[in-house]
A and B are shown apart, each in its own frame.
Chain A
Amino acid sequence: MPELPAELAVSLWRGGAQGRYETYRVPRRDSQTVLDVVTYVQRHIDPTLSYRFACRVGMCGSCAMTVNGRPRWTCRTHVAKVAGSGTLEIGPLENLPVIKDLATDMAPFFEKWRQAKGAFAPSRTRTDPMPRIRPDSPARIAADAAIECINCGVCYAACDTVRWNADYLGPAALNRTWTLVNDERDAGNAARLQAVAAAGGCHACHSHQSCQEHCPLSLNPTASIAGLKRRTALAYLKGELKP
């Protein structure tokens, strides 16, 4: 890998939906992450820069931004890996309204999570015996494969179908719904399948797999959505759904 220059030329998005990229010169450091770069600009060059982060160690997903065209966690992106010839272009996550600079409004993302009925619907009370869930049952294996999502929004930002279809619930919301569809304790599947069988639901997915390619946790929403397609198609053919 060619040596990076001692100084990086970093373009950061400034403004809201209307705005422009502004370039800053940031000193190169060993093991520098993109989040380090953004933080340097805000602390030493321009305190008016707005950006979001929390844990800094790849656990919370708050620092997701568009880096050289790809949505990623900036705290887990080493500059050496992406800065090519010493230049970086950093913008807010795509497919979401921009509040200011590098911070987006995540409300539409979570609203679609709600629309996809991505919340657990209990079937028992505290007085009922606890259900015994076998971890090796096919349903639990399917749910566990998708359960680690921390709702960082990277898949949503990477998805072309989200960009083309304002109604599309998106990979994260549908992935969450899939985990609940496979949860034996859950009682909300009728409403859930109805929600994802409507326009903008799982059938809008074209299996581009951008979600799976970009997910920092290597989850596979494409597979989850394929599962939802099977479940809803079956329910529809059995007459359980009214599209």
Chain B
Amino acid sequence: MNVRLYVWQRATAALMVPLAAVHLAVIFYATRQGFSAAEILARTRGSVAWGTYYALFVAAVSIHAAIGVRNVLAEWSPLSERRAGRLAIAFGVLLAALGFRAVAAVVL
């Protein structure tokens, strides 16, 4: 972990504090209401607000989780830092790809 990775990881962490808090609130609300898929999608489809919010969340978590995984691999597995870094990037790309696809699925 160097200063560049640190800044990115902490910045995305700080950004996600309110994003995750909102997400928890949404989870509580939606499960209480017992929404069906149609009811969820009625709220998210065509919504610029939800689209922006979740796209931002996906971007932030992809970066944050990738750097976190990199640290864990470098410290707890026999992999070198470079190998760990490459695996982590692959993981981050996977998260981003699946995440943006999910956002598109519920917003478009």
Q: Contact residues of A with B, CB < 8 Å?
A: 161, 164-165, 167, 197-199, 201, 203-204, 229, 232-233, 235-237, 241, 243
Contacts and interface: CB of A to CB of B under 8 A. Distances in A.
A145 to B, nearest CB: 23
Contacts of A201: 2-3
Contacts of A199: 1-2, 81
B3 A232 contact: yes
B67 to A, nearest CB: 11
A196 B2 CA distance: 9
A241 B3 CA distance: 9
20 contacts: A164-B75, A164-B76, A165-B74, A165-B75, A197-B2, A198-B3, A199-B1, A199-B2, A201-B2, A203-B3, A204-B1, A232-B3, A233-B3, A233-B7, A233-B10, A235-B3, A236-B4, A241-B3, A243-B3, A243-B4
Contacts of B7: 233, 236-237
B29 interface: no
Contacts, number: 36
A12 B10 CA distance: 44
Contacts of B74: 165
A203 B75 contact: no
B6 interface: yes
Contacts of A243: 2-4
Interface residues of B, number: 12
| Secondary structure type dominating chain A contacts | helix
A238 to B, nearest CB: 12
Contacts of B4: 236, 243
Given A164-B76, A232-B3, 8 more contacts: A165-B75, A167-B81, A199-B1, A203-B5, A203-B6, A229-B6, A236-B4, A241-B3
A33 to B, nearest CB: 35
A236 B75 contact: no
Contacts of A167: 81
Contact of B6 (A161, A164, A165, A233): A233
A243 B3 CA distance: 7
A117 B21 CA distance: 41
B1 A203 contact: yes
Contact of A198 (B2, B10, B76): B2
Contacts of A241: 3
Closest 5 CB pairs of A and B: A164-B75, A203-B6, A197-B3, A243-B4, A203-B1
A15 to B, nearest CB: 26
B108 to A, nearest CB: 36
A207 B32 CA distance: 38
A227 to B, nearest CB: 14
Most chain-A Cβ atoms within 10 A of its Cβ — which of B2, B7, B74, B75?
B2
A146 B6 CA distance: 24
Most chain-A Cβ atoms within 10 A of its Cβ — which of B6, B75, B81?
B6
Contacts of A197: 2-3
A241 B4 CA distance: 10
